[in-house]
A = this chain, B = another copy of it.
């Protein structure tokens, strides 16, 4: 088992990563809780809920709440239902919520924990690769019909327990989604790591490499959020690829493509902007090939309209006075934030769409 300690303004917390951790929860979870509510989704439930319940202390009452799988559950309706569940099972201030699932569950259950009785403890138990990103850093949220994560808080878990075995049941699309954020973390931090990833195929991934990539990703994320918890400065770098990704997800409807796939496509646009507008020499051709080799849905670009994307980016919370800030790269591992004019964005987006369409 490996571990990383994350420092936050309210408290420090540990991220534990290892095989089969879900079978030994009693070792990692304080016995002082009056009750525990495990929040999970309809897919994860069938795989791991029983294991988790069995490995918690018999001395503590354990309740469960299950929401439908998929990003569309990160909604006001599910948020309200879960708060009702907290009230119904009488969670008190010394109760614990466990978020068992991917990023959707972590964000949703974390937001419930942050606002029930003005905040009770919660533990993240990520079951996807993608969630290596969202489970660290304290951002919890639900979506609004007009934008992703528009409603939420900054609220840190008391622990993150990452059972690497739960990655073994992931479908190909989820591995692809997770590596959208993994490669972002590599682009942000480590040129060698990035090139190594670009040379590999996800279908040939070993468990050992997966574990190492997740650990490295968490370290990148943790080191940035520790320095800038509330996104006043460098935390913005973590939005690399996300400005377009959020707009695509909102436009297509959440759940149409996965978040990490959208990020992977957003990173392509980031490379385009960095190279064309700012003279960088990022390996866009190698990245395009990697996206193709691993079946990333780059073709979604042919289904979007640049003007509508622009309107959605305006609403994005990183927007200030209707100008659009982008995170770009001078080179791999060297990010910066820059304001880009609407006309240039429209032009580069059209060019990229044409390239992808094969024109």
Question: Is A8 interfacial (CB-CB < 8 Å)?
Answer: no
> Are A317 and B93 touching (Cβ within 8 A)?
yes
Chain A, interface size category, equals 35 or more
Q: Which residues of B contact A117 (CB under 8 A)?
A: 150, 152, 317
Q: Which residues of B contact A230 (CB under 8 A)?
A: 119
Interface residues of A in 108-152 (CB under 8 A from B): 114-119, 139, 141, 144, 146-147, 149-152
Total identical chains: 2
> Are B115 and A320 touching (Cβ within 8 A)?
no
A84 to B144, CA, bound (A): 8
A235 to B341, CA, bound (A): 50
Interface residues of A in 223-239 (CB under 8 A from B): 230
Interface SS of chain A: mixed
Question: Is A281 interfacial (CB-CB < 8 Å)?
Answer: no
Q: Which residues of B contact A152 (CB under 8 A)?
A: 115, 117-118
Q: Closest CB-CB distance, A322 to chain B, in whole Å? A: 8
Nearest chain-B residue to A319 (Cβ)?
Answer: B92
Neighbour of A87 across the interface among B80, B92, B147, CB < 8 A: B147
A223 to B153, CA, bound (A): 27
Nearest chain-B residue to A315 (Cβ)?
Answer: B90
Question: Is A55 interfacial (CB-CB < 8 Å)?
Answer: no
- The chain A residues found within 8 Å of chain B, CB to CB, are 9-10, 34, 76, 80, 83-84, 87, 90, 92-94, 114-119, 139, 141, 144, 146-147, 149-154, 230, 314-315, 317-321
- Beyond the given A90-B314, A119-B230, please list 15 additional residue pairs across the A-B interface where CB-CB is below 8 A: A9-B10, A76-B80, A83-B151, A84-B144, A87-B146, A87-B147, A92-B317, A93-B318, A93-B320, A94-B320, A115-B153, A118-B141, A118-B153, A118-B317, A153-B153
